[in-house]
Amino acid sequence: MGWLAKLLEKYPEMAVYLAVGIGFFLGRLKFRGFGLGVVTASLLVGIFIGNLFHVPVSDQAKSMLFLLFLFGIGYSVGPSFFRNLKGDGWRWAVLAVFVPVVGLLAAYAMARILKLDVGYSAGMLSGALTESPAIGTASEAIRGLGVSEEQKELWVVHIAVADAICYIFGTIGVIWCCGTLGPRLLGIDLLTESKKEEKKLGIQHTRLGITSGWRPFGLRAYTVKSNSPVVGKTVDAAEKSVTEARLFVERIRRRGEILSATPETVIEAGDTLAVLGRTEALVTILGPLSAETADPELLEIPVASYDLYVTSRGIVGKTLQQLVDTVEEGRGVMLRGMTRGGESLPVGLNVEVERGDTLHVTGPESNVQKLAPIIGRIIPPNEDSDIGVLGIAICIGVMVGATITFPIGGLRISLGTSVGTLLAGLAVGWGRSTRPWFARIPDAAILFMRSIGLAAFVAMIGLKAGPIFVSAVKESGYLLFLGGIVVTVVPLISGILFGRYVLRLDPVQLLGGVAGAQTMIAGVAAVQEKSDSPIATLGYSYTVAIGHILLTTWGTIIVSLLT
């Protein structure tokens, strides 16, 4: 193995990519819904390789990757972060602050009780609260302390050790509290309660879309029979006569000639209509009343499937039902789906539209073009990234974080380059939500920045921690594990009780909101599985942005509090 040791020491990037590659493979494996996740797996693989071989790690490379990750996080949560500070969202914002604050206090208390050093304490916080980015902010804060370089390196290594020990129950704890303990504390049956909330929001399930509610759409040709109830009616009246679904007549073939269908056009027997609507509605409603026919020329209508980004003040806060009733430009346009902060939302008539939402629509291109300015803007297909804005924003974030300090008691706490970059990403992401043409970076690029940035960063942390990992676990492993259990469970239970009995939040959405405040999507998955409903995703979308910001910042705060 000597040749491999020399190779890894000469080319340390090999070890980093090996740790990331194996980490991504192992992190995606799950047993009964539980998995390590790619970040923790990359950390553990890095520790394993570092324990076997001496691999020099560049602090500059670590910093560059971590800053790229932080910008990506800020960019992606920017719109929802500011949105949740407005209107009725204040209750969710309070929950999103309450849970991380309780988590910070619990971590601080356990660190004092167990007499942990600052490195172990920060790692316990990041692992137990399942927020690996706190490893980076805590490491930066430690490097700014007035202690020897050897002590700094030891504490940074201790962060990785504690995070690896505490993260396992951190994940299990969120799944158990949200999916099992939480419903018992609230005295609810998840299945029954979720159906109540679905009914209130106007969400319905069918066999084709039990969890998502999506329906396929179709444009079909039907010949009107002489005894059809629509004969003699205008197109507008015929469309409104169908109350159980939205169907639209786009074109008409009459005596061999193709006509554009206007609301005033009168339908005659023998007409062939090009009708747009949900496939189920076309089959069940029009099928028995008219004869479907193949007419490629009639159906040769440009149909667009676009994403509309919500920026218009006129529709923010309105329900989907209100948009259907009041926005005339929406005629002929069907809603395929809806996302908020990158998370898919269940679509119901009483779901409110918020600024920064993305509406996925389908309809004749001309109709969609008319609707777009009413909603906001069409998000054009984009494969290029605005690297200019990215580079300048990170530079400004680092500069701001390095120069701004806050006096707290007898201390002056630096904002830190990590938090500065996170805030820069937040600002650019918000600017993108208000000006969709500004700082355009495709979702795939942001996902790559977040994935490779954090995974490679923690892999390098693991490579450094490898040589002392075993001895550190023997020294403090059981204390860290027990302390991590407390730090995981206390904020979850507190958040569930506070959210229900003080903030009066809906119970199923609350469980998703608590999972979001600890940024653990596995908790939402546990609720969805037991409730047979996507309702919990709404609560998660309200809190996850603030949770990411605060929990990442806690890495800096816990170091400052303990030193």
What DSSP string describes 517-534?
A: HTT-HHHHHHHHHHHTSS
**What letter represents residue 419's amino acid?**
V
Closest by CA to 295, choosing from 337, 343, 237, 256, is 256
Q: For residue 408, what pLDDT is reported?
A: 57
Q: Of 89, 134, 176, give the one whose Cα is nearest residue 548.
A: 134
Task: Report the pLDDT value the prediction gives residue 215, as an integer from 0 to 100.
Answer: 41
Assigned token pair, 52:
């076997």
Tell me the chain's radius of gyration from C-alpha atoms: 27
Q: In angstroms, rounded to a whole number, what is the distance separating the alpha carbons of residues 163 and 484?
A: 9
What is the predicted pLDDT for the residue at 214? Answer: 39
Token duo for residue 256: 């061999």
Contact 56, 7 (CB under 8 A): no
Cα–Cα dist 332/18, whole Å: 52
Distance CA 445, CA 387 (A): 11
Q: Residue 546 contacts by C-beta under 8 Å, 6 or more apart in sequence?
A: 81, 84, 93, 96, 97, 100, 517
Distances 430 to 74, 260, 424, 544 between C-alpha atoms, Å: 9, 42, 10, 16
Extract the tokens encoding 227: 């005894």
Three-class DSSP labels, 456-511: HHHHHHHHHHHHHHHHHHHHHHHHHHHHHHHHHHHHHHHHHHHHHHCCCCCHHHHH
**Angle, CA of 184, 102 and 559, to the nearest 5°:** 145
Residue by residue, DSSP assigns 240-254 as HH--SS--EEEEEEE
**Do 77 and 545 meet the contact criterion of CB atoms below 8 Å apart?**
yes
Distance CA 434, CA 414 (A): 30
> Which residue has tokens 């500011």?
82
For tokens 């929950």, the residue is 95
Question: Nearest CA to 469 among 123, 173, 138?
Answer: 123
Are 327 and 246 contacting, i.e. CB atoms less than 8 angstroms apart?
Answer: no
Say which residues have a Cβ less than 8 Å from residue 217's Cβ, sequence separation at least 6. 276, 277, 278, 279, 334, 336, 362
- The pLDDT, as a whole number, for residue 210 is 39
H helix runs in 115-233, sequence order: 118-128, 133-143, 149-176, 182-186, 190-201
CA distances from 299 to 275, 358, 454 (A): 9, 28, 49
Is 229 strand, coil or helix? coil
Q: Residues 485, 67: contact at Cβ < 8 Å?
A: no
Q: How far apart are alpha carbons 279 and 362 in whole angstroms? A: 13
- Looking at residue 163, its pLDDT comes to 86
Neighbours of 189 (CB within 10 A): 12
Query: What's the pTM value of the predicted model, to 2 decimals?
Result: 0.60
Please tell me the predicted confidence (pLDDT) of residue 458.
77
Instruction: Give the whole-angstrom CA distance, residue 141 versus residue 124.
Output: 16
Secondary structure (DSSP) of 40-106: HHHHHHHHHHHHHS-----HHHHHHHHHHHHHHHHHHHHHHHHHTTSGGGHHHHHHHHHHHHHHHHH
Q: Kindly report the backbone phi and psi dihedral angles of residue 209, in degrees, each rounded to the nearest multiple of 5, phi listed first.
A: -155, 65
CB 130 within 8 A of CB 519: yes
Which residues of the chain, if any, have pLDDT below 70? 1, 32-36, 77, 79-88, 201-217, 280-284, 287-289, 341-343, 381-383, 406-415, 433-437
Provide the pLDDT for residue 212.
39
Residue 208 pLDDT: 36
Angle, helix 536-562 to helix 507-517, in steps of 10 degrees: 40
The answer to whether the beta carbons of residues 507 and 484 sit under 8 Å apart is no
